[in-house]
């Protein structure tokens, strides 16, 4: 039993370590993912289709799979969420033409696996990290999480525009996020949403991207819990059988 627990701990620790190494940099802002909150993922799917799918694809996720997993009628998906394909069985592709590379310096990447490659907190920090930067002539903004990013702030109508607060000499300005200090940003142009409402919106988007990276996650977790329960039950029965066999010896 002790060996089983130790082995499980080592495997789980190894998975966490692999995920942390794959994150590719410490996130600027802390974020607690909730990919099992179906309502949040549904709202994230709506916002992704409205604001992100024009440039970014999810080539490993089909509309029909998303509809089934998120409890959405396929008719509603076809009417309200499909802008680049005609059949609900097709994957989610972007409307971006091939010449987009000359516009942005590179083709907008597919986001199917971004939450697994970078980590949910990285994605959230990127969406929350845009600030005004006059030196960026092409977009007018920069990003705390990914300095020099070629992506414009496509959600500016919701968040507005923010600028960095300059630290007084000898002091480190900024609020603590996730165990370290992030540069402080202040709103210079108001958006349609308050900052709290905007953070809820990008949290929903991040939760959807977590789901998109592994649509079978809920089934895997459910099956894993059943397997663990079976193994614990088997260990108990095996231990009682061992005691029965060795009762006369001891």
Please give the angle made by the CA atoms of 161, 164 and 165, to the nearest 5 degrees: 125
**Residue 12: predicted pLDDT:** 37
**Residue 10: predicted pLDDT:** 34
- Alpha-carbon distances of 118 from 111, 121, 125, rounded to whole Å: 11, 8, 11
**Residue 250: predicted pLDDT:** 58
Domain ranges of the chain: 12-215, 221-250
- Total count of residues recorded for the chain: 250
Residue range 12-215, CATH number: 1.10.760.10
For the chain, 250 residues long, the average pLDDT of each consecutive 10-residue run is 37 39 70 95 95 92 93 89 84 80 78 95 97 92 93 95 78 49 85 97 98 86 86 90 80
**Residue 3: predicted pLDDT:** 42
**Residue 179: predicted pLDDT:** 43
Query: Cα 78 from chain centroid?
Result: 24
């Amino acid at each position: 039993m002790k060996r089983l627990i130790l082995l499980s701990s080592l495997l789980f620790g190894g998975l966490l370590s692999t995920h942390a190494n794959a994150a590719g940099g410490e996130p600027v802002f802390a974020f607690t993912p909730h990919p099992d909150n179906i309502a949040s993922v549904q709202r994230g799917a709506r916002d992704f289709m409205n604001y992100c799918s024009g440039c970014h694809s999810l080539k490993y996720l089909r509309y029909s799979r998303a509809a089934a997993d998120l409890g959405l009628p396929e008719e509603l998906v076809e009417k309200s969420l499909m802008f680049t394909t005609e059949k609900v069985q097709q994957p989610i592709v972007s409307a971006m033409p091939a010449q987009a590379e000359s516009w942005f310096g590179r083709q907008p990447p597919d986001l199917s696996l971004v939450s697994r490659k970078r980590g949910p907190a990285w994605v959230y920090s990127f969406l929350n990290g845009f600030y005004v930067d006059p030196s960026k002539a092409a977009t007018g903004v920069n990003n705390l999480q990914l300095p020099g990013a070629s992506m414009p702030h496509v959600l500016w109508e919701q968040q507005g525009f923010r600028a960095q607060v300059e630290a007084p000499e000898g002091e480190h300005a900024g609020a603590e996020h996730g165990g370290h200090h992030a540069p402080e940003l202040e709103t210079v142009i108001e958006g349609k949403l308050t900052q709290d409402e905007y953070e809820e919106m990008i949290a929903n988007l991040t939760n959807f991207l977590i789901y998109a990276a592994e649509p079978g996650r809920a089934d895997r977790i459910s099956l894993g819990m059943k397997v663990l329960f079976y193994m614990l039950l088997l260990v108990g029965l095996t231990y009682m059988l061992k005691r029965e066999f060795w009762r006369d010896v001891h």
